[in-house]
Structure 1
Amino acid sequence: MGILSHGVAGSGIRLAGGSLGFGMVEVIVRDGEGGIRRAAGPVGEVADLPALADWLDALSKPRAPFAGLALDRPAIMGIVNVTPDSFSDGGDFLDHDKAIAQGTALLEAGADILDVGGESTRPGADPVAAEEEIRRVAPVVRHFAERGAVVSIDTRHAAVMAGALEAGAAIINDVTALTGDADSLGVAVQSKAPVVLMHMRGEPRTMQTAPDYVDAPTDVYAYLAGRVAACLAAGVAPGNLCVDPGIGFGKTVEHNLAVLRHTAMYHGMGVPVLIGLSRKRFIASLSRGEEPKDRMAGSLAGALASFDQGAQIVRVHDVAETFQARAIWLALHKA
């Protein structure tokens, strides 16, 4: 069972304690046979159902700071790919000096978080040995951590998580939601580091091979809710969790759109929501087939739509442009 909130800024109950409000909800019921039923109604009517009280509380309660960052406005996570084969900028920043220059530019442009990754997870990408991944990312992470930046490590390998945390990373960002490596959950528990849990169907080499869902938004929700529960049971603090529905990871264009239309639903887990759609292939599929670096306008449109549904963090390549778009959005919403 899930809840999708609807509403107008400043009205009704506040969504995740932020500047957006909702006065209507959609109750989504999944039966044991894989069927989906949806029914909408005013919040007051739904609140009379005791089984939904916890959902409404999770949808509306303010989010605590994540990795020390207040979430009273959407945070911008800037991408630093220290890789030769990432889909958008593969090879541009493989050299450590170039990666550091790029990260510096992103911070100056307004990034709140730097997301440093040493392994491409684009569709069809081959895995990278942990030792090589650490060699790529550790100097970059250390450079920015020593200068007070909030750095996340984008990895699915426990050894890389541990090495990056030792170098000063503040956040673990795992496309496998801590399932890709048997030791990852232990690293998260021991380190007490905040974690972004992302949904991915399959693994990078095969994830875009005929992905199929009963209902993409609620299938993704069920998976992420299960991962949140597993992390809490293992000892991860609730304030150290964030969820990412994984746009483009084992999803068709229609799956991506359905998930994005239901972004507000993911607040039902009571943790921050991160959306990463920057320069993704589905943007070009809906437009004119543009190359990754020519997908900025679509990326901004998606980021603003995510803000409209309360997303607390957006992961982007184009930080300066996202910063400007966010400034206008904040002014219009008086956030």
Structure 2
Amino acid sequence: MTDPLTAASPVVVGVLNVTPDSFSDGGRYASLDAAVTHGVQLITEGANFVDVGGESTRPGAERVDAATERARVVPVITELAAAGVPTSIDTTRASVAAAALSAGAVVVNDVSGGLADRDMVRVVADAGCPWVLMHWRGHSERMRDLAVYTDVVKEVCAELGARVDAALAGGVAAHRLILDPGLGFAKTAEHNWRLSARLDQVVALGFPVLFGASRKSYLGSLLADTRGPRPVDERAAATIATTLLAVDAGAWGVRVHDVRANVDAIRVWQATKAAR
């Protein structure tokens, strides 16, 4: 199966949450048939690979046990791999990552950057697969309390650098690492905007950068009206704007729910750049 790191940038990662409680599409793809059908559709719409998650990481979410998480993701990844769909496993647990890789996943997307499970670095190093290291300070139930920074961009870059050092020390090859600034994870809306505006500083760390703003609450707050924040399923245009700003700043890829619309926008951006 094609290595996602060899795909031409910008890469588009399609989101597939097989959970009952994710902030955007919780429960929609909880059945195996629905999940597999949607995963195939995301590839048809232009995703380079599909990110399968079995545990919600929205702020305040309660954790599920490892057995439950594995039971949610492994059958889906097995079926998608059989259909030729490249997948990543969105997990902080080494045991879940190992099971997903055995089932056919080709990337580990770890929102904890290796902090949540010390065995993750061994699993990734042994597999030789790409590893997304996201900036993270704690699990969902306490992340709001950890959103304290003096200079969010400087501190996120430094903390991501520490995760890179730990990965390299654990035997993971540098060319297999991807960084994610972790918008919304132990960050306020103001922190998200600052990271977005200065994303080039994260890119300057020298690793591919995956940017994930799709449908997030800070976009809903920005677009609020008399009814309150813009509903999750009405944030597609705002997400597209963040995608174009991110790829223009040098991001390697974006992680999105609405694949076709974002792929279309990137194609327009690419054509415009090529015509200069």
| TM-score, scaled to structure 2 | 0.95
How many angstroms apart in 2 are the aligned matches of 1:290 and 1:299?
Answer: 12
- Partner-residue secondary structure (3-state), 1:205: helix
Task: List runs of 5+ in structure 2 lacking aligned partners.
Answer: none
Alpha-carbon separation, structure 2, partners of 1:120 and 1:83: 7
Cα distance between partner residues in 2 of 1:120 and 1:258: 25
Max Rg structure = 1
1:218 and 1:203 map into 2 onto residues whose CA distance is 22
- CA 1:290–1:320: 2 relative to 1, 3 Å: same
Give 1:267-282 correspondences, 5 Å limit: 267-282=203-218
* Residue in 2 that maps onto 1:113: 49
Q: Hey, what does 1:21 align to over in structure 2?
A: none
Gaps of 5+ in 1: 1-65
Report how many residues are paired. Answer: 270
- Structural mapping, 1:291-310, within 5 Å: 291-310=231-250
Match of 2:129, SS state, is coil
**1:84 partner SS:** coil
**1:171-250 pair list within 5 angstroms:** 171-209=107-145, 211-250=147-186
User: 1:96-175 to 2 correspondence within 5 Å?
Assistant: 96-175=32-111
Q: Percent identity?
A: 43
Root-mean-square deviation over aligned CA pairs: 1.3
- Amino acid across the alignment from 1:269: L
**SS state of the match for residue 6, structure 2?**
coil
Cα distance in 2 for residues equivalent to 1:250 and 1:195: 21
Using the size of structure 1 for normalisation, the TM-score is: 0.78
Q: Match of 2:191? A: 255
Please state how far the C-alpha of 1:71 moved relative to its aligned partner: 4.9
For residue 91 of structure 1, what is the amino acid of its counterpart? G
CA distance in 2 between counterparts of 1:303 and 1:267 reads 15
**Structure with the largest fraction of helix:** 2
Q: In structure 2, do the counterparts of structure 1 residues 83 and 183 end up closer, same or farther at CA, with 3 Å as the change threshold?
A: same
* Contact map agreement 1:201 1:251 (CA 8 A) in 2: no
More strand by share: 1
Give CA-to-partner distance per residue, 1:24-82, whole Å, 9 cap, x none. Answer: xxxxxxxxxxxxxxxxxxxxxxxxxxxxxxxxxxxxxxxxxx93443543010000000
Match of 2:12 in 1: 76
CA distance in 2, matches of 1:278, 1:178: 23
CA distance in 2, matches of 1:332, 1:71: 21
- Kept after mapping to 2: 8 A contact 1:75/1:313: yes
Q: What does residue 55 of structure 1 align with? A: none
